Amino acid sequence: MIEVVLRPKRILGSSPQIQSLQKLVQQAALTDSPILIYGERGSGREFVAEILHETSHRRTQPFEKMNCSGWTETFLETEIKRRLDRAERGTLFLDDINELPPHVLALALSDGRPRVIGACDPQQDLGGLQNEFGIRITLPPLRHRKLDIPILADHFIERFAAEFDKSVRGAHPLALRKLMAYEWPGNIRELKNAVERAVMLATGNILEVTDFSFLAVEDEDRPLQFKIPGATIHEIEKEAILRTLDYVGGSTTAAARMLNMSVRKIQYKLKEYRKAPEQRAQKVQNA
């Protein structure tokens, strides 16, 4: 008999926003207070709720989830009571909680058996009932944490390569550049779907920029600051490094990964670029 070991869920990323989120989720899981998750659609609201449940003392109890949008008030009131009973002393996750009538939301929060985790868009108003949630967690949209895109992309590539029995093992730096240039209105869910499509249709071992041709990126073909032919290798390298740093928000680690260069070399080059104007100014003074 083969024993299957399931890896615990974790919030992927190394950006400052995600490091703060990881700590807050870890602390919140230890409490019994109701939790309100603010996040855009596709940003991982249900995923974070599952982590909160699985790392709490309620993890052996049921995790019950319900999307509250699109139902009549009568149905919601009846269904909430049924879900509260099914959740017992576990966790009841209510997505789009802003769609609940105030008295139904108050009923869920006053039950006291399962811990209630609600989620909604940051722009939604709960009519003052948000104050009933002891802890509030805000999930950053993917466009505000682009440093995490290479990590997330690698995760999804590995996942779907195994699922589709493909030999895809990574993405070309130019493909990663395109992923980081895109604004991801659908957040992590859209990135996951994009990588799934690319891996499923891939014909090689590495995902190329053409594998993501369905993503429309503004200024993707922004003109270079020099002409080819005619540019020196130094000019081409400088443009590549500075553009990549711009795309990754200044992270030399992320840029090094995309460019297949060492972090030390990029840092050395940046010092060289900063010194160049000073050296030119010094020559003018000495002339």
pLDDT tens-digit profile, the chain (287 residues): 334 334 568 899 988 999 999 999 999 999 999 999 999 999 999 999 999 999 999 999 999 999 999 899 999 999 999 999 999 999 999 999 999 999 999 999 998 899 999 999 998 888 888 889 989 999 999 999 998 999 999 999 999 999 999 999 999 988 998 999 899 999 999 999 999 999 999 999 999 999 999 998 765 555 555 555 667 878 778 888 887 777 666 778 878 877 878 888 988 888 888 776 544 445 545 55
Domain check: are 116 and 148 in the same one?
no
Report if residue 8 sits inside a domain: no
Domain membership of residue 1 (yes or no) is no
Which domain range does residue 160 map to? 142-218
Same domain? For 58 and 21 the reply is yes
* Angle in degrees, CA 47, 196, 16, rounded to 5: 45
Cα angle, residue 122 at apex, residues 117 and 124 outer, rounded to 5°: 85
User: Which among 218, 252, 269 is the end of a domain?
Assistant: 218
State how far the Cα of 129 lies from the Cα of 249, in Å rounded to an integer.
37
Residue the block writes with tokens 């000019």? 235
Burial class (CB in 10 A: 0-12, 13-18, 19+), 149: buried
Cβ within 8 Å of residue 108, ≥6 positions away: 80, 84, 92, 94, 100, 116
Of the residues 79, 110, 140, which one is the last residue of a structural domain? 140
Specify whether 20 is located in the same domain as 136. Answer: yes
State how far the Cα of 260 lies from the Cα of 176, in Å rounded to an integer.
12
164 vs 175: CA distance, rounded Å? 20
Tell me: do 183 and 120 sit in the same domain. no
Computed from CA positions of residues 67, 71, 74, 78, in that sequence, does the dihedral angle turn out positive or negative?
negative
